Amino acid sequence: MVSFLRFFINGISLGSVYAIIALGYTMVYGIAKMLNFAHGDVIMVGAYIAFCAMSYLNLPPLLAVLCAMVVCTCLGVVIEGLAYRPLRQAAKLAVLITAIGVSYLLQNTALLIWSSNPKVFPSVFNVGQIRLFDGNLVISSETILTIVANIVIMIALTLFTSRTKMGKAMRAVSEDRGAAELMGINVNRTISLTFAIGSALAAIAGVLLCSSYPTLQPTTGSMPGIKAFTAAVFGGIGSIPGAMIGGLLLGIIEILGKAYISTELGDALVFAVLIVVLLFKPAGLLGKPIREKV
Amino acid sequence: MKLKKSTINNIISFGIVIIAFIICQTMISTGVMKRSLKGQMIPICVYIVMAVSLNLVVGISGELSLGHAGFMSIGVFSGIIGSAWLEAIGVTNEVVRLFMSMIIGGVFAGIFGVLIGIPVLRLRGDYLAIVTLAFGEIIRNVLNCLYFSLEGTKLHVSFNNPSIPGTILVNGPNGAKDVSKIATFPAGFVLILFTLVVVMNLINSRSGRAIMAARDNRIAAEAMGINVTKYKMMAFVTAAVLAGMAGALYGLSMATVTAAKFKFDTSILVLVFVVLGGIGNIWGSIIAAALLTVLPELLRAFADYRMLIYAIVLILVMLVTNNPTMRALLSKLIPRRGGAQSKGGAAL
Amino acid sequence: MSETVKRRQNTKMVPAPSQGIIPERDLYVSPVLEARHLGIEFGGLKAVDDFNLVIGKTEIAGLIGPNGAGKTTVFNLLTKVYQPTMGSIMLNGHDLHGMNTVQANKLGIARTFQNIRLFDNMTVEDNVRIGLHNQISYGMFTGIFRLPGYWKGEKAQHEKALELLSIFDMQDLAKVQAGSLPYGAQRRLEIVRALATNPSLLLLDEPAAGMNPHETEELMNNIAKIRDQFQIAIMLIEHDMNLVMGVCEGICVLNYGRIIAKGTPDEIQSNPTVIEAYLGKKKEG
């Protein structure tokens, strides 16, 4: 029972990371209607920046995270402006391939700068741990921090999209880009903002991911990226609470699956659950089904 | 007798492939071709078949599949196991064994194509794409846990348990080792011809028109009495079978091969061939697959920067060919030629 | 106005006991379509409600009504694009319950679309060949390996397609890309494509939209010609009242998803409820 609880908490922690990444995917998809495959690599960049800030510049962790967020935000906006904006009217597949190109570009640039040797990410937030059940259940401060960060981000984003003018503009653009433009919303700026927020979140996710799983490589972001993308689809792509629920469920399923079913098949299980969910709810858990007008 | 336009096109296409094969074969036998390039001949054939078959799904049937490498890996392992088993039961002729193994690879990939197609083709658009990705990953994960061995003519399979009797053929995550390399370049050439016959004739037939009708306007196709799911399935499974055959050829050309080779990146690689060659454009796929398989070999001098250059080229090509202003600029510079690219581009 | 159309206008209508309108010659033959209490709800809103209609075997029927009355929704229900939430549809005596669009088409219902849905990238002939899909068929392997059945089937499809295109004198356009045709020709091609599926009931959704008066006149003659040649029933949605009154034998008026009137063109033209639906209520005093 205690071990189950431990796995469960680890699952929530991993799920929180997925959820934060998935938020980036889902917001970009909702607004730009594109699968941003490079998102996973922005996570990796964020983690490397934080790593460098702490190891080489000896900055305090919080400042390092801030550094990573600033760099990733700029990176996200630049990628959007240079690679995706020119293709706004292009076929979906062209944008997808461009995103894949950007993903290769980021990975290989990182490879040249930081080499493929794994870096050991410093345990930045290790300020102690909570021991329960006579020390049988140890919850590290990273775990707690991840979960708390997730909750804070969730609340902040919900408030942002429902209360602020920019947030409402984002929702309007995702609903109907043409109509939003006619209402005087600057669509390009809104999309840039979305990329900025998504990328800043990716930086946070990168640091959180690497403080729990401390090996950092140029390919670190790709698998969590794909899984977070799965989580976004699972919860209903385009939906912010959907990304949150999808991420959490996926993390829990993955950890429990690895613990109780098979270590090798943990990933397969995640994808299998996605398929089953989509068969019963073709637009994800919280997604809205679309009806084509005849 | 007046020949059909599609028949003439087919004859021209086959002619070009045959001529290309003869040229390559002469270059190999006269020793003009570099060793490193010679080693690339079978992979080129394999990736051409992969690209053409994926184009059937993405271009002709209009569904984005991100898990094509999964079918290839099924073909790889069923082909390797099939070949070893055929050898054990006394099929000693290597050519016969190779072609039978390719058929085995195709059949197994086809079976999985049906099993996967049933749930996948119920979904639409991006949801369909993510589920094909998921299936590709599941196939890879499961293959990582499978162990096959041959004891006499008896085939043993186990899941997550490496201790099985007989000679190990496939060793879980370590993959297949000491495969008897019976794949040949001529066999690859025959497979390309076969793929072209299947795909081109399919497109120019009643079934092919139904597949394209379902792609262009699902609702209208249904109103015309076309069972859209059936024809999407037809394209999906045909592509899976071809990928399986290519996989078997690939597996039997490598001494060692692991399931990890066929992850998401490989699916994407093939998709890049299809998109760069022009969606729906079969010849484009062939040329893109051939060039881009050789390219890394040619860029060997730039070793470290190879993938970086590749990424930048990929992004630039997509921007130039898909951005309206860039396109206009380009058409000003280059006088207008046949619209093969634009014809394909309309598909998605 | 041509002779055939004039004659048709003078055909006497005999209202059938319970369902209103069926031309005399169809009275003793089983009807092609019987819709009973048909309805559909979208999130609690009844888009179509209690729709009852019988169409005779060779009748030309019209479905009219103001914008948003639910006319196209009726077509979508009859072709099973939408599954009705209430009522039943009988086509040639078969219940369409639980069937999909494909099965409904195979049972003999074909349609055109208000917003033209041609296969734009294909040639005119290939569009018609898609319609012939279930009429002249051969299997996938026959096609891939070009067995004798392939050559036979392709030839038969080619000939039949040209024959059908000749109804609208379009056989010369066979090799033209469908998307590059002018608007009127696209509408005509849609009709040919629908006819190719060998229907017993042809649904035309605003066939004259975007046509000039001359083209509309020609279309009117062709609709009558198609009925005579193929001996099928035709139901059309149309806003051009000249066309509707000129070619339809029975008319059904829809407003807010409900039938407000049924009858011959003359009856409909003088029906106060219909006038009110189109023009609004007369001011009192």
**What confidence tens digit (pLDDT) does each residue in B133-176 have?**
999 999 999 998 899 988 888 888 888 888 888 888 888 888 88
**The token pair that represents A16 in the structure block:** 């929180």
Is B315's CB within 8 Å of A283's CB?
no
d(CA A225, CA A49): 18
Domain-embedded: residue A129: yes
Q: What are phi and psi of A253, to 5 degrees?
A: -60, -40
CA distance C201 to chain B (A): 13
In this prediction, residue C108 carries a pLDDT of: 93
Do A282 and A231 touch, CB atoms closer than 8 A?
A: no
**For residue range A225-283, what is the model confidence (pLDDT) as tens digits?**
888 988 988 888 888 889 999 999 999 999 998 888 878 788 888 899 888 988 888 88
CA distance C283 to chain B (A): 45
Nearest to B225 among C105, C122, C126 (CB): C105
d(CA A248, CA A15): 4
d(CA A289, CA B36): 52
Is B138's CB within 8 Å of A109's CB?
no
Question: Is residue C3 very low, low, confident or very high in pLDDT (cuts 50, 70, 90)?
Answer: very low
Which positions in chain A touch C74 (Cβ < 8 Å)?
none
Percent of chain C topping pLDDT 90 = 65
Chain mean pLDDT for chain B: 87
In this prediction, residue A291 carries a pLDDT of: 64
Is B311's CB within 8 Å of A105's CB?
yes
Interface test with A, best of B73, B130, B274 (most A CBs within 10 A): B130
| Cβ-based neighbour number of residue A282 at 10 Å | 16
List the Cα angle B80/B82/B85 in 5-degree steps. 110
Domain-embedded: residue A144: yes
pLDDT higher than threshold 70 for residue C256: yes
d(CA A72, CA A221): 13
**The token pair that represents A237 in the structure block:** 């792509």
Pick A2 or A280 by higher pLDDT. Answer: A280
Percent of chain A topping pLDDT 90 = 31
Mean pLDDT of B249-269: 90
Chain C residues 155-174 with a CB less than 8 Å from chain A? none
**The token pair that represents C105 in the structure block:** 């088409």
d(CA A99, CA A196): 16
Nearest to C130 among B4, B202, B226 (CB): B226
Q: Which domains does chain B have, with CATH numbers?
A: 11-345 (1.10.3470)
pLDDT higher than threshold 70 for residue A22: yes
**The token pair that represents C41 in the structure block:** 């709800």
Chain mean pLDDT for chain C: 87
**For residue range A192-231, what is the model confidence (pLDDT) as tens digits?**
999 999 999 999 999 988 888 888 888 888 888 888 988 9
Q: What are phi and psi of B176, to 5 degrees?
A: -95, 135
In this prediction, residue B35 carries a pLDDT of: 77
Cα-only R_g, chain A: 19
pTM of the model: 0.89
Is B173's CB within 8 Å of A35's CB?
no
**The token pair that represents C285 in the structure block:** 């005093």
Interface test with C, best of B206, B218, B231 (most C CBs within 10 A): B206
Among residues A24, A15, A16, A23, the alpha carbon closest in space to that of A270 is found at A15
Chain B residues 225-284 with a CB less than 8 Å from chain C? 225-228, 234
pLDDT higher than threshold 70 for residue C1: no
Question: Is residue A146 very low, low, confident or very high in pLDDT (cuts 50, 70, 90)?
Answer: confident
CA distance A237 to chain B (A): 9
Question: Which of A97-111, B5-19, C116-130, C225-239 is least confident?
Answer: B5-19
Do B66 and B267 touch, CB atoms closer than 8 A?
A: yes
CA distance A89 to chain C (A): 20
Domain-embedded: residue A84: yes
**For residue range B39-87, what is the model confidence (pLDDT) as tens digits?**
889 999 999 999 999 999 999 999 999 999 999 999 999 999 999 999 8
Q: What is the DSSP string of B200-261?
A: HHHHTSHHHHHHHHHHH-HHHHHHTT--HHHHHHHHHHHHHHHHHHHHHHHHTT-S-B-GGG
Q: Measured between CB atoms, does C137 come within 8 Å of chain B?
A: yes
Domain-embedded: residue A100: yes
Tell me the ipTM for this assembly. 0.86
Which positions in chain A touch C72 (Cβ < 8 Å)?
294
Question: Is residue A290 very low, low, confident or very high in pLDDT (cuts 50, 70, 90)?
Answer: low
Q: What is the DSSP string of C146-164?
A: T-HHHHHHHHHHHHHHHHH
CA distance A235 to chain B (A): 12
**For residue range A171-195, what is the model confidence (pLDDT) as tens digits?**
888 888 889 889 888 999 999 999 9
Domain-embedded: residue A182: yes
Q: Residue C52 is inside which H or E element, if any? A: strand C45-55
Count how many pairs of residues, chain B against chain C, have C-beta atoms within 8 Å: 99
Interface test with C, best of A290, A293, A294 (most C CBs within 10 A): A294
Domain-embedded: residue A248: no
Question: Which of A161-165, B320-324, C26-30, C202-206 is least confident?
Answer: C26-30
CA distance B151 to chain C (A): 38
In this prediction, residue B103 carries a pLDDT of: 96
**For residue range A93-135, what is the model confidence (pLDDT) as tens digits?**
889 889 999 999 999 999 889 888 888 887 766 667 777 777 7
Percent of chain C topping pLDDT 70 = 90
Residue of A nearest to B263 (CA): A223
pLDDT higher than threshold 90 for residue C192: yes
Mean pLDDT of C185-207: 95
In this prediction, residue B336 carries a pLDDT of: 47
Mean pLDDT of B326-340: 60
- Three-state secondary structure call for residue C276: helix
Is B134's CB within 8 Å of A271's CB?
yes
Q: What is the DSSP string of A40-104?
A: HHHHHHHHHHHHHHHHTS---HHHHHHHHHHHHHHHHHHHIIIIIGGGTTS-HHHHHHHHHHHHH
Q: Measured between CB atoms, does A290 come within 8 Å of chain C?
A: no
Which positions in chain B touch A233 (Cβ < 8 Å)?
126-127, 130
pLDDT higher than threshold 50 for residue B1: no
Nearest to B324 among A89, A101, A265 (CB): A89
d(CA C50, CA C87): 8
In this prediction, residue B334 carries a pLDDT of: 62
Question: Is residue C285 very low, low, confident or very high in pLDDT (cuts 50, 70, 90)?
Answer: very low
Domain-embedded: residue A275: no
Residue of A nearest to C42 (CA): A291
Q: Measured between CB atoms, does B198 come within 8 Å of chain C?
A: yes
d(CA A31, CA A76): 15
**For residue range C130-143, what is the model confidence (pLDDT) as tens digits?**
999 999 999 999 99
Which positions in chain C touch B207 (Cβ < 8 Å)?
139-140, 143
In this prediction, residue C165 carries a pLDDT of: 95
d(CA B106, CA B241): 4
Strand order in the sheet with B146-151: B154-159, B146-151, B167-171
Give the structural domain span for A40: 2-229
Q: Residue C48 is inside which H or E element, if any? A: strand C45-55
In this prediction, residue C18 carries a pLDDT of: 40
Count of the separate structural domains present in chain A: 1
Q: What are phi and psi of B316, to 5 degrees?
A: -60, -45
Chains that touch B (3 or more CB pairs under 8 A): A, C
Domain-embedded: residue A278: no
Q: Measured between CB atoms, does C79 come within 8 Å of chain B?
A: yes
DSSP 8-class letter at A21:
H
In this prediction, residue B2 carries a pLDDT of: 55
CA distance B36 to chain C (A): 36
